[in-house]
Amino acid sequence: MTTVSSDVTVDDFRQSITHRLATACFSVSYTIARHERALDYQLLDAHSLPGVVGLLYDDPNPPAMPRRFFGLMAPEKPRRLVLGDIWTSNEHPGAHAGNWVFEVYGRNNLDRAIALANDLSDTFGVRIVVKLIRDQLAVETLPGDGYWD
């Protein structure tokens, strides 16, 4: 056991609001993301989620994926859909400790986002403003897309 004196404090990243939010979303089957790119939940650290938690989910009705040819026919991995980004800090206008902003991508995601926002609001005791950012759905960014490589 570690002894902490009055001059020493311990700041465990797992107690940060963004890590607790990520854990709550991960526990209900969302993939945690940043910049529309999936993060490995087991590898999250204090710098992974600076005031924002992005959420991806598997498309419940994936389109038939075209097959590509590299010597053999292989199905392409379906991309997950982007639900949106939940901002918990004042790095986003209107977001702060007691008022989060949930930016939602795709009008078809609104019902899902509102249900999640209601659950999170009850769990964390905060007000959550849900904002539709665009009508069209967004899909995850994969390595090789050229955006963040």
Distance CA 89, CA 5 (A): 30
In contact, 90 and 118? CB cutoff 8 Å: no
Query: Which of 49, 57, 56 shows the shortest CA–CA distance to 18?
Result: 49
Is pLDDT of 1 > 70? no
pTM of the model: 0.83
φ and ψ of 111, to 5 deg: -60, -45
Is pLDDT of 47 > 90? no
Is pLDDT of 134 > 70? yes
Query: Which of 34, 35, 28 shows the shortest CA–CA distance to 57?
Result: 28
Distance CA 53, CA 39 (A): 10
Contacts of 123 (CB under 8 A, 6+ apart): 24
pLDDT of residue 101: 97
